[in-house]
């Protein structure tokens, strides 16, 4: 079995020879840029993140620019990337850094972790990449490499399993070259030790890897126990009047918080006759399915439903994707933006 030293050596050697060094957030020590990339990369592929990362930085080159932006503009630039609480927390944290730290990102890992939306691993990554602190990381990629290498069984959502993984991560993280080591572990998980079909023949850890030796790659890391996915069924009221569409800004927290959507009703009653049914669809969230039946309504007053708070009317042609007419700086979830595009 590896000693921590030989594990580190192999991993750092791999980074020097094969590590990814050319992504837009590599080669910077700016904590704002590193933080932004770490948050965007959570649950999201690199190729999808790059254009969002670049557009975000072009509009908000500094953390103070982000702190001073309106929430609509922040959500607009995040629209389509999903997991919108990330954007809301990013905005909140930027405001705290601007106000409580005079716009300078804190260096202490504990102070970093106290900011909204930053967990222990992200705080460790920012502290190591920006400030050369010897802090460990444990994102999804690193969890996979460690679970396989050391045969740590069970789902990482269980506290005992997570504790074992953190203990290994802490033990193996070197006090020198921490940034290179952390980057290498992320790269190994993302490029070599992938979820399915890992490229063990390219892996610097193959010689001692528990999962490879025991033929347990598909069982490690342990999967989340399966539960039946709940389903929620709603109507979306597509109210179009004089080529203007009515949208409603959702409350700041919860699903799609702060984004603009169609007024929504639970499907507890049959569809009344004077609505026109549009094509229904299912949108999958990480923890449930949302079954949507859009209903075209010519006048909201005919529905007998009060206009919800925080509504506004927008010209339909603003949402025509072919004309690239994304001139309205508001945040829209992808299914809303697709439905608007099909109507405009
Ligand atoms: S040998 Fe294979 S399974 Fe083991 S850490 Fe390397 S890539 Fe992953």
Q: Which of 18, 148, 195 to mutate to test the pocket of ligand 1 (most atoms within 8 A of CB)?
A: 148
Residue 35 reports pLDDT greater than 90: yes
Cα-to-chain-centroid distance, residue 279: 29
Minimum mean pLDDT range among 90-94, 272-276, 288-292, 338-342? 272-276
Residue 39 reports pLDDT greater than 70: yes
Q: Which of 152, 201, 203 to mutate to test the pocket of ligand 1 (most atoms within 8 A of CB)?
A: 203
Strand partners, 313: 246
Residue 325 reports pLDDT greater than 50: no
Over residues 143-150, mean pLDDT: 98
Q: Go through the domains of the chain in sequence order and give each one's CATH number.
A: 4-219 (1.10.340.30), 231-343 (3.90.79.10)
Residue 286 reports pLDDT greater than 90: no
pLDDT at residue 301 in the model: 58
pLDDT band of residue 329 (cuts 50, 70, 90) is: confident
pLDDT band of residue 339 (cuts 50, 70, 90) is: very high
Distance 158 CA to ligand 1 centre (A): 23
Distance 9 CA to ligand 1 centre (A): 16
- Residues involved in catalysis: 38
Two tokens at 292? Answer: 């949507």
Does residue 220 have its Cβ closer than 6 Å to ligand 1?
no
Does residue 185 have its Cβ closer than 6 Å to ligand 1?
no
CB contact set of 231 (below 8 Å; sequence gap of 6+): 288, 289, 290, 291
Higher pLDDT, 281 or 275: 281
pLDDT at residue 308 in the model: 62
Does residue 115 have its Cβ closer than 6 Å to ligand 1?
no
pLDDT band of residue 288 (cuts 50, 70, 90) is: very high
> Are residues 9 and 16 in contact, defined by beta-carbon separation less than 8 angstroms?
no
Share of the chain above pLDDT 70, in %: 93
Q: Which of 200, 213, 218, 220 to mutate to test the pocket of ligand 1 (most atoms within 8 A of CB)?
A: 200
Q: Which of the listed ranges 22-31, 239-248, 273-282 does the model predict with the highest average pLDDT? A: 22-31
Distance 41 CA to ligand 1 centre (A): 22
Does residue 142 have its Cβ closer than 6 Å to ligand 1?
no
Does residue 206 have its Cβ closer than 6 Å to ligand 1?
yes
Residue 116 reports pLDDT greater than 90: yes
Distance 128 CA to ligand 1 centre (A): 25
In the predicted model, what is the mean pLDDT of the chain? Answer: 92
Atom of ligand 1 nearest to the CA of 209: 4
pLDDT at residue 247 in the model: 93
Distance 174 CA to ligand 1 centre (A): 20
Two tokens at 285? Answer: 């969230």
Atom of ligand 1 nearest to the CA of 217: 3
pLDDT band of residue 323 (cuts 50, 70, 90) is: low
pLDDT at residue 124 in the model: 98
Minimum mean pLDDT range among 73-87, 148-162, 259-273, 293-307? 293-307
Does residue 259 have its Cβ closer than 6 Å to ligand 1?
no
Over residues 29-34, mean pLDDT: 98
Share of the chain above pLDDT 90, in %: 77
pLDDT at residue 343 in the model: 87
Does residue 216 have its Cβ closer than 6 Å to ligand 1?
no
pLDDT tens digit sequence for 290-319? 999 999 987 655 555 556 667 888 888 888
Q: What is the DSSP string of 199-210?
A: -GGG-TTGGG-H
Over residues 268-291, mean pLDDT: 85
Half-sphere exposure at residue 101, Cβ-oriented, CA atoms within 13 angstroms: 18
> Is 84 strand, coil or helix?
coil
Rg (CA), the chain: 23
Does residue 316 have its Cβ closer than 6 Å to ligand 1?
no
Over residues 239-266, mean pLDDT: 91
Residue nearest to atom 1 of ligand 1 (CA): 206
Minimum mean pLDDT range among 68-72, 79-83, 251-255, 319-323? 319-323
Q: Measured between alpha carbons, how far is 246 from 313 in angstroms, rounded to an integer?
A: 5
Does residue 265 have its Cβ closer than 6 Å to ligand 1?
no
pLDDT at residue 242 in the model: 86
Q: Measured between alpha carbons, how far is 185 from 255 in angstroms, rounded to an integer?
A: 32
pLDDT at residue 303 in the model: 54
Residue nearest to atom 8 of ligand 1 (CA): 193
């Amino acid at each position: 079995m590896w000693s921590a030293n030989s594990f580190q050596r192999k991993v750092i050697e791999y980074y020097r020879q094969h590590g990814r060094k050319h992504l837009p957030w590599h080669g910077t020590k700016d904590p704002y840029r590193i933080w932004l990339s770490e948050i965007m990369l959570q649950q999201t592929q690199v190729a999808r993140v790059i254009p969002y990362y670049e557009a975000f930085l072009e509009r908000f080159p500094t953390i103070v620019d982000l702190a001073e932006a309106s929430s609509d503009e922040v959500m607009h630039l995040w629209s389509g990337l999903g997991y919108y609480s990330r954007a809301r927390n990013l905005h909140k944290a930027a405001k705290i850094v601007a106000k409580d730290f005079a716009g300078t990102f804190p260096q202490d890992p504990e102070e970093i972790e106290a900011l909204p939306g930053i967990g222990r691993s992200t705080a460790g990554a920012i502290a190591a990449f920006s400030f050369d602190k010897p802090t460990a990381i444990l994102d999804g990629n690193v969890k996979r490499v460690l679970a396989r290498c050391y045969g740590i069984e069970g789902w990482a959502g269980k506290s005992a399993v997570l504790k074992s993984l953190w203990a290994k991560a802490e033990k193996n993280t070197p006090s020198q070259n921490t940034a290179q080591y952390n980057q290498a572990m992320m790269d190994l998980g993302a490029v070599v030790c992938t979820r399915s079909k890992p490229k063990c023949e390219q892996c610097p850890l193959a010689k001692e890897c528990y999962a490879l030796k025991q033929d347990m790659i598909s069982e490690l890391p342990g999967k989340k126990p399966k539960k039946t996915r709940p389903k929620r069924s709603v109507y979306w009221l597509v109210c179009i009047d004089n080529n203007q569409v009515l949208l409603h800004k959702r409350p700041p927290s919860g699903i799609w918080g702060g984004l603009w959507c169609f007024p929504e009703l639970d499907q507890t009653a049959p569809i009344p006759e004077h609505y026109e049914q549009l094509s229904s669809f299912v949108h999958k969230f990480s923890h449930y399915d949302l079954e949507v039946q859009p209903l075209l309504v010519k006048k909201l007053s005919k529905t007998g439903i009060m206009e919800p708070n925080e509504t506004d009317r927008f010209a339909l042609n603003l949402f025509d994707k072919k004309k690239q007419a994304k001139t309205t700086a508001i945040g829209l979830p992808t299914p809303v933006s697709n439905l608007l595009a099909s109507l405009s």
